[in-house]
Amino acid sequence: MAQIQIKNIRKDFGDFNAVKESSFTIEDGEFFMLLGPSGCGKTTTLRMIAGLELPTSGEIYLDGEEISQLPPSQRDIAFVFQMFALYPHMNVGKNLSYPLISQGMPRAQVKAKVDEVATILGIQDILKRPVGGLSGGDRQRVALGRAIVRDPKAFMMDEPLGALDAEFREHMSEELRALHDRMNATTVYVTHDQLEAMQMGDKIVVMNNAVVEQFGTPKQIYDTPATMFVADFIGSPSMNFLPFDGSVGEGASEVQLAGHNHGVPRQIEGASGALVFGVRPEHVTLSDSGAYRGEVLASEYLGTTQIITLDTPNGELKARIGSEQVAKVGEKVGLGFNPGTVTLFDSGTGRALRSDLNNEVLTHG
């Protein structure tokens, strides 16, 4: 078992607050993603779990044991860095065996374990090769092998695929997820790449400016963003934001944009003033009719779909539609929105208003 509980951890470097009070639970066997832009606090959070940084306050539990002040050597956690961190004077086999030899494991067991890990990673044929001449992908496999050979309780991975080119990075991400599933290990993975997080993660923590903006499954993060930051950071293109001044009461199921009514999920929380109508591009429809209209500014062909950019009374908007639909630049078209997918935000705080769509996520996530 390797459940990790984070309770109100905070990290200060002098006057700089790198991580504000954060709390979440990583379940045993989960592939858990720490996602956010550079400087948001995700790597600092990972380093606190691993013991490379001690929290200023708060608690970290591994299998129910409080470990926040323990050194890394007493946490049984393996760390994989972006830059491989291999011993250049050793060949592949010696890099893999070094952690086991350091622990005093008998040589016969060391050889058996190295052979097992090399088979899992498909690197049996390079065990005697020096690491300096390996490709980036092979060096990353060796770095992973040196981490998993110890059978730790959990793996900490700090952008381990960041140094690889895009094509090979995608291939390695599939391999890494398959390896995780095979080992049923608990993995905590830092990335700034939202596609990587969505494709690989069981759960995601989205961080920004030292704060956890949202915690949940990829589907929850995408379909029911808790804040405008999450809605904007996740998705390509990101969620459309149409600002409007108005009010929405408890129980309301429509709002008015530029004098036209549009359906929304039943609102559990009312608000008034500067609000934002949020809708994903794939939930926007184009039609010849429709009172709410927009002018086509550009079209980006993507094969089976196309991204249409439109100018509307409430600002610019993108729609993802089928490539067979015709949308000419300069043409004015009617616009519709899937009412069950709309999220309303408070413009001042950036926070999503609670509705039938997101109430469970915002209350329990």
> Is residue 311 very low, low, confident or very high in pLDDT (cuts 50, 70, 90)?
very high
Query: Looking at residues 159-182, what average pLDDT do you find?
Result: 77
Q: Which pLDDT band holds residue 315 (cuts at 50, 70, 90)?
A: very high
Grade residue 15 by pLDDT with cuts at 50, 70 and 90: very high
How far, in Å, are 271, 272, 274 from residue 245 at the CA level? 11, 8, 5
Q: By the 8 A CB rule, do 185 and 155 touch?
A: yes
Q: φ, ψ for residue 175 (rounded to 5)?
A: -65, -40
Residue 193 CA to residue 38 CA, distance in Å, equals: 11
Q: Is the pLDDT assigned to residue 169 strictly greater than 80?
A: no
Please provide the CATH number assigned to the domain covering 4-223. 3.40.50.300
The pair of structure tokens assigned to 360 is 């469970």
Give tens-digit pLDDT for 218-238: 999 999 999 999 999 999 999
CATH architecture for segment(s) 228-364: Beta Barrel (2.40)
pLDDT digits (tens, 9 = 90+) for 235-271: 999 999 999 999 999 999 999 999 999 999 999 999 9
Residue 39 pLDDT more than 80? yes
Residue ranges of domains in the chain = 4-223, 228-364
Predicted structure pTM score: 0.89
pLDDT tens-place string over residues 80-104? 876 667 888 888 998 889 888 888 8
Which amino acid is residue 215, in one-letter code?
F
